[in-house]
């Protein structure tokens, strides 16, 4: 039997560069929420990819940005903590266009970055052939052009991860796809539906919490609450005669049914939790307990 390899690989980069799409493409199934709006990912999403002798814990991070409020500070803290723990870093930047800034400038809180870095150039379908062959800013960092949309360029990237993975036993069962509970993925899919249905700023002010997940029922009964920051936002999420929340709920239900592979009855409620994005208790409750720790 060949030796097993296990490694944690973090997927980092600025907002909207295609991190979550890459996680889904590598996993061969949808785990992470994807949106054309930036800053969609909040808590890191974890995928466990086991191929032959190698198990990779892939961590799809929130985009690295300068935080302006508590939720963003917690998101950044979570992202940086995973980079510290990682065995290797996949640094994403769109292909074509501008060269990526050095990773160090995106994470100044780390005095040095010692892990191997792969420069992943995303969305290759969006740039012409001539622009693909631009000179590389860091010849010492291997570059991998990928297209999550067309699933191209993935195998060499996985092979690079394998070659840098330490020889040690798998940490998870070979059938495991994630370490996060189904409830987490349900909240993410409701948020994805919200990003698609709601106007510019509204999805950012939303948090989703699963209140009930009735195992064994058919259809599976799930009750969840969408929290907005203001009453006026709550009214917009509900919409005229409840039309918006009904449409959002039906989109979300379809996504959840596909994810869980079973019929779902999704019961959505909308409440206001004033300015929750700046409140330590609320930010901790919506996924950042560790990051907020000392503040509550």
Ligand X SMILES: Nc1nc2c(ncn2[C@@H]2O[C@H](COP(=O)(O)OP(=O)(O)OP(=O)(O)O)[C@@H](O)[C@H]2O)c(=O)[nH]1
Considering only 8, 20, 72, 187, the residue that binds ligand X (CB under 6 A) is 20
Alpha-carbon gap, residue 194 to 63, rounded angstroms: 19
55 near ligand X, rule: CB under 6 A: no
CB of 289 to Mg ion, least distance (A): 21
Considering only 8, 122, 205, 228, the residue that binds ligand X (CB under 6 A) is 122
Residue at token pair 């949106």 = 35
20 near Mg ion, rule: CB under 5 A: yes
Query: 16 is in the binding site of which of Mg ion, ligand X, none (Cβ under 5 to 8 A by kind)?
Result: ligand X
Give the tokens for residue 141: 């960092």
Alpha-carbon gap, residue 7 to 3, rounded angstroms: 13
CB of 60 to Mg ion, least distance (A): 6
40 near ligand X, rule: CB under 6 A: yes
31 near ligand X, rule: CB under 6 A: no
In the range 269-288, which residues lie near ligand X by CB under 6 A? none
Nearer to ligand X, 128 or 294 (CB): 128
Question: Residue 228 in contact with residue 220, Cβ under 8 Å?
Answer: no
| Structural element, H or E, at residue 57 | strand 54-60
Nearer to ligand X, 40 or 56 (CB): 40
Give the tokens for residue 260: 């869980």
CB of 175 to ligand X, least distance (A): 25
CB of 196 to ligand X, least distance (A): 10
Question: Residue 9 in contact with residue 87, Cβ under 8 Å?
Answer: yes
Alpha-carbon gap, residue 117 to 48, rounded angstroms: 20
Considering only 39, 50, 182, 225, the residue that binds ligand X (CB under 6 A) is 39
Q: Which residue, 132, 41, 141, 47, is CA-closest to 91?
A: 141
Question: Residue 264 in contact with residue 256, Cβ under 8 Å?
Answer: yes
Cβ burial, residue 154 (10 Å; 0-12/13-18/19+)? middle
Nearer to ligand X, 18 or 47 (CB): 18
36 near ligand X, rule: CB under 6 A: yes
Q: Which residues bind ligand X (CB under 6 A)?
A: 15-21, 34-36, 38-41, 62-63, 122-123, 125-126, 147-149
């Amino acid at each position: 039997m060949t030796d097993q390899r296990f490694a944690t690989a973090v997927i980092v980069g600025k907002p909207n560069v295609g991190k979550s799409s890459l996680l889904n493409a590598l996993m061969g199934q949808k785990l992470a929420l994807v949106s054309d709006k930036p800053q969609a990912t909040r808590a890191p999403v974890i995928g466990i990819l086991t191929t032959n002798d190698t198990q990779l814990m892939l961590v799809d991070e929130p985009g690295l940005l300068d935080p302006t409020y508590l939720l963003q500070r917690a998101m950044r803290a979570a992202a940086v903590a995973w980079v510290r723990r990682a065995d290797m870093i996949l640094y994403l930047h769109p292909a074509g266009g501008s060269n990526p800034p050095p990773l160090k400038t995106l994470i100044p809180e780390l005095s040095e970055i010692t892990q191997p870095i792969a420069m992943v150039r995303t969305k290759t379908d969006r740039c012409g052939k001539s622009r693909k062959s631009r000179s590389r800013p860091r010849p010492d960092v291997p570059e991998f052009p990928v297209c999550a949309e067309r699933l191209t360029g993935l195998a060499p990237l996985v092979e690079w991860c394998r070659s840098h993975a330490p020889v040690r036993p798998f940490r998870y069962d070979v059938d495991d796809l994630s370490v996060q509970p189904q409830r987490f993925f349900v909240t993410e899919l409701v948020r994805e539906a919200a990003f698609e249905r709601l106007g510019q700023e509204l999805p950012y002010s939303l948090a989703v919490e699963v209140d009930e997940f009735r195992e064994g029922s058919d259809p599976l009964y799930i009750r969840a609450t969408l929290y907005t920051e203001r009453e006026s936002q709550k009214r917009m999420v509900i919409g005229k005669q409840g039309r918006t929340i009904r449409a959002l709920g039906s989109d979300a239900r379809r996504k959840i049914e596909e994810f869980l592979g079973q019929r779902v009855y999704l019961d959505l409620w909308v409440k206001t939790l004033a300015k929750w994005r700046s409140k330590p208790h609320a930010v901790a409750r919506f996924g950042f307990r560790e990051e907020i720790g000392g503040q509550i």
